[in-house]
Structure 1
Amino acid sequence: MENVFLIHNDITYTYQKLLLDLNNKEFETPYLYVKDNHPYDVFLGIIHSLLFDYPIEVLDGDFSEKEISELGIVVHALTLKTKLKEHLNLQKLDEVMQRVKDIENWQLTLYTSGTTGRPKKMSHTFQTLTRNVKIHKKFENDIWAFAYNPTHMAGLQVFFQAFLNQNTLIYMFGESMKKIPALIEKYQITHISSTATFYRNVLPYVQGNIFSKVKRVTFGGEKFDLLLERKLKAVFPNAKMINIYASTEAGSLFTAQRDTFEIKLEHQQWVKITAQQELCIHHSLLGHSKSLSLDSDWFHTGDLVELVDETHFKFLSRQSDMINVGGYKVNPLEVENILMQAPGVIDILVKSKKNSVTGELLVADVIKSEETDEKELKKVLKQFATTHLQEWKVPRIIKFVDELPSTRTGKRVRK
């Protein structure tokens, strides 16, 4: 049986097909712009660029022409291509892996998700993209659920971990949540990596099941949720729960079990936390960007953290997410974590609304379980919030919604 590289929409792409398509590609392109972000074409373009050691700029397949122009790219440049002087004649996957190991100067450029303004352009080497990738024979039978956007940092991290160990990827990003349990069972998935938002959305469909083959459940891109972890542990009882801190600027840097990140010895001199509790990273750990603003060689991440001790910290919030209610700073994640404990709540998003008296007030968008009555749950939430939160942290408006908006990377949107 041929080794499977990717399964997407019930279509199987083998590593043998990947080799054949790599051998048949005749052109290199400066931009990788794949309509609808078709994962096989995205991965094929990245691997081809890597093997021929030419730089490539990865764009979201759903970028509009206007968005592309705003990034400073001339739209017709997306179709530029140069005929290759060399042709590949790869017969075995091991030849690909050997060639990849010898690459030194390759550069891949991608964009931040743009949740706090215009997306920033960041360039990475193979070394910075694969900083925390582990390659070992013991990983050769891993089967990955791919639940990230393939054109962003988190997706690239999962892709390289799987590809360099010649694993199978089961594509789930954008898939109907109802289908996820069947995909996990059908393909005997062993590893899942996604945002907390993805896990919250899929939880109603997997609860009551036990998936014993899943060995690892990884969180990334958003604040870790201890309540969610407990619920997922009942579904994936044999899975190790891992929390990863990564960014488009730095790639994957810190890992944690539960919510306390460790600063490894080799990174300690390159990480600092300001008096305002903002996490800063030295430029030596970052990718390259002309537009990146540094303060004396330090990059301000915009992430607020709590220092546990000299080598450990907890993530609190994005600085831009903090809400000013009558002079009090409110962390919406704290409010969400409390209200998520109320019976009948499936998911919740706390955001702000302009107010002439307090400047801003809190609004809670709530997804409830089908059997829960709206009026009753609204009473429960108000009472729950009043009991467990300070007055200025209590949402003044509670709305029931069918879904919560998310960014291109699958993270929740507060604005």
Structure 2
Amino acid sequence: MSNSQKFVQKLSAFENKVAIINSGNKTTYINLVEEIVFFNNKITELNIKSGEVVFLLGDYSVESISLFFSLALNNNIIVPITSENEEELKERLDVTKPNWIFDLRKKIEIHLVENENAERHDILNALINIKACGLILFSSGSTGKPKAMVHNLDNLLMNYIDKRGKEMNFLVFLMFDHIGGLNTLFNCLSMGVTITIPENRNPNDIAALIEKWKINILPATPTFLNLMCISDIFEKFDLSSVKMITYGTEAMPEGLLLKLKSKLPRVKFLQTFGTSETGIVKTTSMSSSSTFLKFDDPNQEYKIVNNELWLRSKTQVLGYINHSNENFTEDGWFMTGDLVEKSTDRYIKIIGRTKELINVGGEKVLPGEVESIILEIDSVLDCIVRSEKNSITGQMVCADIVIKEGFIFKEEKLKIKKHCKHKLDSYKVPIRINQIDSVSFTNRFKKNRQL
């Protein structure tokens, strides 16, 4: 029996427990299995063959989740896509050459006959030959062309089959085509907990869902959590049901974490970590108010090379189908690009990305470090630190800030410079400070430093 079969079989054991809350409607685990069977029959009717590549367009829903597992049972190679950008969709269609498109937004299925005899990458052919279901995820493309990475989905699901049942209500926040989002989905379903699906990711609407459905676990990004702070969400809504907030995908500013902890003193804050290439790592935070974490995962190895985190895991990708494997060493280590600081007892802190480093005359500056210092100023709601060209030093540090109403920018600008000079080396102090209305972030709620 394949791992996808074992996983779906496990869902039946939870019977009448509520599996999904979506748009106010409740779906039990039995209902979910029935929906998977419905799509199994549809796949048979459409004559979708094992090994064919299937585009799955849409975010979380009962239909998308059920179809996902039906395709896994049929040993298809699944490409989940949440983007609605036409140019982005065309690029991903060109890379993957799917045989089928299920557009759950428009409720249509399209058979791309022209791709029936398309030449497949050796990685995909290897999956097809062993009759394993596959998963293709795309990187964000924030620093170049998005990479199409291939997972053996059966291998990924193996880690969730032996999970014990729990009584909890999770909110799924990270996207359906994101390794963190899928990890939340697989974890929740394998434990028989209730998943609440947001209709959008607006801070007010997310908080309203938490209040209405008594959400216990909220996965989010530091950027989104700061948006909640800026919007006074913690004062407007009753979030007393929340027991844990997990955060990841970007470095957490220490000042923000302390602010969150003061607003939600009874909530446990857990830093998560993972990459699309190696999967999600089981972690332990030093404390709810610390940005240091420890890896506690038998399926993952790590080491630190020149302050960069390298990972090797049992669940890592088979490779890319549109990119070289230059980020992998010959013996299987993935160079994450994450820079870390070491502490005692195997604890480490993610301090930034190698590609985000600002080079000021040979001195390296981490944007996150400067942001943390600026966020210590009471009048600053948010900020983003980035580089600009400089004829003398090559690059210089610049900061775009959002200040609270009632404060005068010129006065706060002087205060920020003085504070930075007191706390930072001179080359790290922002040369230029601009006032902005809001910080730009990606559709995955990560700060966008590429603008």
1:173/1:325 Cα in 2 relative to 1: closer, same or farther (>3 Å)? farther
Q: What amino acid sits opposite 1:7 in the alignment?
A: I
Which residue in the other structure is 1:93 paired with? none
Cα distance, 1:192–1:273 mapped onto 2, change above 3 Å: same
Distance, in Å, in 2 between the alignment partners of 1:265 and 1:130 is 14
Query: In 1, distance between residues paired with 2:296 and 2:413?
Result: 45
Whether contact under 8 Å (1:113, 1:407) holds in the other structure is: no
Report which stretch shifted further, 235-244 or 195-204: 235-244
Structure 2 equivalent of residue 358 of structure 1 = 393
2:432 to 391, 397, 408: 397
Q: Which amino acid aligns with 1:20?
A: E
Give me the whole-angstrom Cα distance separating, in 2, the residues matched to 1:230 and 1:129. Answer: 35
- Distance of 2:96 and 2:243 partners within structure 1: 42
Alpha-carbon contact 2:401-2:434 (below 8 Å) kept: yes
What is residue 31 of structure 1 aligned with on the other side? 54
Aligned partner of residue 319 in structure 2, secondary structure: coil
- Shift in alpha-carbon separation, 1:132–1:347, aligned structure 2, 3 A: farther
Partner in structure 2 of residue 331 of structure 1? 366
Contact 2:77 2:133 in 1 (8 A): yes
Aligned equivalent of 2:329, options 295, 300, 319: 295
Report the alpha carbon displacement of residue 193 of structure 1 after superposing the two structures with TM: 0.7
Check 1:265–1:170 CA distance in 2 against 1; reply closer, same or farther (3 A cut).
closer
Counterparts in 2 of 1:336 and 1:39: CA distance versus 1, 3 Å: farther
How many residues end up aligned between the 2 structures? 390
Cα-to-partner distance string for 1:179-233 (whole Å, 9 max, x where unaligned): 3332211110100111111111112322336633211110111113332222222
Match of 2:148 among 94, 99, 121: 121
The offset of 1:310, in angstroms, is: 7.4
Say yes or no: does 1:260 pair with 2:288: no
Aligned twin of 1:247: 275
Residue 175 (structure 2) pairs with residue 142 (structure 1): no
Amino acid at match of 2:362: G
- Letter paired with 2:185: F
Are the structure 2 counterparts of residues 357 and 172 from structure 1 closer, same or farther at C-alpha, using a change threshold of 3 Å? farther
Which residue among 19, 43, 51 is the counterpart of 2:65?
Answer: 43
1:225-236 correspondence to structure 2 within 5 Å: 225-236=253-264
Q: 1:190 to 1:283 in 2, by over 3 A?
A: closer
| Correspondence for 1:60 | 82
Q: Distance in 1 between matches of 2:297 and 2:37?
A: 42
Give the Cα separation in 2 of the matches to 1:311 and 1:5: 37
Unaligned runs of 5+ in 1: 83-103
- Kindly provide the amino acid, as one letter, of the partner of residue 175 in structure 1: R
Using the alignment, how far apart are the partners of 1:344 and 1:212 within structure 2? 27
**Aligned mates of 2:112, 2:32 — CA distance in 1:** 20
Q: C-alpha offsets along residues 363-411 of structure 1, whole Å, 9 cap, x if unaligned?
A: 2122222343333322222222222112211112222223222223221
Question: Using the alignment, how far apart are the partners of 2:188 and 2:241 within structure 1?
Answer: 17
When the two structures are superposed, what TM-score results if normalisation uses the length of structure 1? 0.84
Q: 1:370 to 1:408 in 2, by over 3 A?
A: same
In the alignment, residue 32 of structure 2 is paired with which amino acid? Answer: L
241, 249, 273: which one pairs with 2:304?
273
Aligned counterparts, 1:183-202, within 5 A: 183-202=209-228
* Aligned 8 A contact 1:149 1:408 in 2: no
Which residue number in structure 2 is paired with residue 175 of structure 1?
201
Calculate percent identity across the aligned residue pairs.
Answer: 26
Structure 2 stretches lacking a partner, 5+ long: 1-14, 102-109, 114-130
- Tell me, yes or no, if the aligned pair for 1:129 and 1:157 is still in contact at 8 Å: no
Q: Is the 8 A contact 2:60 2:197 kept in 1?
A: no
Q: Could you tell me which amino acid in structure 2 is paired with residue 287 of structure 1? A: V
SS at match of 1:357: coil
2:104 is matched with none
Q: 1:134–1:283: structure 2 CA closer, same or farther, 3 Å change rule?
A: closer
1:105 pairs with 114, 132, 135, which one?
132
Q: Choose which of 411, 423, 426 in structure 2 pairs with 1:388.
A: 423
Question: How far off its partner does 1:283 sit?
Answer: 6.2
How many Å apart are 1:121 and its aligned residue? 1.9
Shift, 1:44, TM fit: 2.5
**Residue range with higher mean Cα deviation, 210-219 or 197-206:** 210-219
**CA 1:10–1:175 in 2, change beyond 3 Å: closer, same or farther?**
farther
Output the amino acid matched with 1:118: K
Query: Does structure 2 retain, via aligned residues, the 8 Å contact 1:143–1:168?
Result: yes
RMSD (Å), alpha carbons: 3.0
Q: CA–CA distance in 2 between the matches of 1:392 and 1:13? A: 56
Q: Deviations over 1:168-189 (max 9, x none)?
A: 2223474222233322111101
Is the contact between residue 144 and residue 191 of structure 1 (CA under 8 Å) also seen in structure 2?
yes
User: Counterpart of 1:261 in 2: which secondary structure?
Assistant: strand
Aligned mates of 1:349, 1:134 — CA distance in 2: 42
